[in-house]
Chains A and B, each alone.
Chain A
Amino acid sequence: MNPFAIDDLPQIEAERVVLRAMDNSDAAALLEVFSDADALKYWGHGPLADFDAAHAYISSAQRAYQAGSRYQWAITLDGKLLGSCALSALNPQHLSATLSYVLATRCLGQGYAREAVHALVSVAFDALDLNRIEADTDPRHIRSIRLLEALGFQREGLLRQRYRIDGNYQDALMFGMLKEDWQV
């Protein structure tokens, strides 16, 4: 039995943004974020094609948290989705997970991502009792690197040419944070 399997994803309230489960009413906003080439420049998959794809994505997120493999939240402001963040590869033996986040380009620069990820990391170490969170970014993704380092993530390696995107090999900058690094 996977201890991370749950029926309902907990809602997480930060100062301005609220993290909550995605539902079908988010499809249009999700499609906007996930068809934004700038927002997805360093994301792990390409844009969503249409509404059907957005609905399928929302369903897959619901199945994933019921299975305990991935918790994915909508980052919302006044109820409206402006991005998403997730803990994936949740591992009950090693007490670890992988962090990811994406925000609509038009919402950047206001600290929403940092606020959301800070709240998420706090839940990961305290409520979920994880020992380690890891994240990897493209080394050119300065905004994301700044966010991770501001929260206390440490650089743990540079994996050469780990991804092939549009025919080009891209490096992966690996970050990790341990519970003992996390001093609120």
Chain B
Amino acid sequence: MTLPTLFSSRLSLRWLHSNDADVDAVYRIFSNPVSLRYWSHVPFVERQRAVSYIDEIHAGFASGTLFQWGIERNADRALIGTVTLVGIDQINQRCSLGYILDEPYWRQGYAATAVNLALCYAFGELDLHRVEADIDPRNGASRRLLERLGFQREGLQRERYRLYDEWQDDEIYGLLSSDPAARKLLADP
């Protein structure tokens, strides 16, 4: 069993393989300190870490709690980022959303397209009721993306993470399947 591939006209969300090409791409994405600035861990410094990371993604999928797709650009089949549904909780019908895009591919609308595909899947196939996302309040690009997608700001948890020798606040956003933005997305993906 692997993740289903999800298609849009520009991008596809697809299973990450353990082959050299995907390991190289995952290492490139997750070793860039600019892209990783507000991610939940520090940049990888060894290619081997990308190998184990893909193993962890496969194990998370096998346990049913983590869906992490590679974002592939249709035009040249470049792997340009990942989008994640994590903490999939069938009892409470919710999950958390994550996304990362390799720095050269920023500001072209790819993140919004990829997240839209994942949200349709979360509210549609997985029948979830709530998707939440948390961002560093200094991450303006990420906030603008969530707000454009209709997420509501629900809280600010102070000093929630310690990374790069600093305390980081955590801003919490939520989108319900009953929110107008989610209903519109499902009616017209």
Q: Which of B16-24, B104-112, B156-164 contacts A (4 or more CB under 8 A)?
A: B156-164
Q: Please tell me the number of chain B residues within 8 Å of chain A, measured between CB atoms.
A: 21
Complex CA gap A4/B156 in Å reads 27
Contact with A along B86-103 (1 / 0, CB 8 A): 000001111000000000
Min C-beta distance of A179 to chain B, whole Å: 9
Per-position 1/0 for B115-141, Cβ under 8 A of A: 000000000000001101000000000
Query: B130 contacts A157, CB within 8 Å?
Result: no
Contacts A157-B172, A160-B176, A162-B92 given; does A178 touch B158 at CB 8 Å: yes
- Answer yes or no: A55 CB below 8 A from chain B CBs: no
Who on chain A is nearest to B179 by CB?
A160
A158 touches B94 (CB 8 A): no
Chain B residues in 8 Å Cβ range of A164: 91-93, 129
Evaluate whether A169 and B174 lie within 8 angstroms (CB atoms) in the complex, with A156-B156, A158-B154 already known: no
Contact B92 A163 (CB under 8 A): yes
Q: Do B130 and A93 touch (CB < 8 A)?
A: no
Asked whether A14 is an interface residue with its Cβ less than 8 Å from the other chain, the reply is no
Answer yes or no: B152 CB below 8 A from chain A CBs: yes
Find residues 70-98 in chain B having any chain A CB closer than 8 Å to their own CB. Answer: 91-94
Contacts of B130 in A (CB 8 A): 160-162, 169
Q: How far is the CA of A176 from the CA of B159 in the complex (A)?
A: 9
* Chain B residues with a Cβ under 8 A of chain A: 91-94, 129-130, 132, 152, 154-162, 167, 172, 174, 176
21 CB contacts below 8 A, A to B, read A93-B162, A94-B161, A94-B162, A132-B160, A134-B157, A134-B160, A157-B156, A158-B154, A159-B172, A160-B130, A160-B174, A161-B130, A162-B94, A162-B130, A164-B91, A164-B93, A164-B129, A174-B157, A176-B158, A178-B158, A178-B159
**Chain A contact residues, CB within 8 Å of chain B:** 93-96, 131-132, 134, 154, 156-164, 169, 174, 176, 178
